[in-house]
Amino acid sequence: MDEISLSVPEPIVESLPADGEDAARDMQRAVEGGQTRLNRAVEEADSEDDAAGAVVDALERFEDRWEQYDDFVAELRAWGQSPIYAMAWRDLMAALMQQLYDHEAFADRIDRERHARLVSDGIRPGR
Residue predicted with more confidence, 2 or 101: 101
CB atoms closer than 10 angstroms to residue 62: 21
Reduce the secondary structure of the chain to three states and give it as a string. Answer: CCCCCCCCCHHHHHHCCCCCHHHHHHHHHHHHHHHHHHHHHHHHCCCHHHHHHHHHHHHHHHHHHHHHHHHHHHHHHHCCCCCHHHHHHHHHHHHHHHHHHHCCCCHHHHHHHHHHHHHHCCCCCCC
State pLDDT tens for residues 48-106: 888 888 998 999 999 999 999 999 999 999 999 999 999 999 999 999 999 998 887 77
pTM of the model: 0.84
State pLDDT tens for residues 10-45: 999 999 999 889 999 999 999 999 999 999 999 999
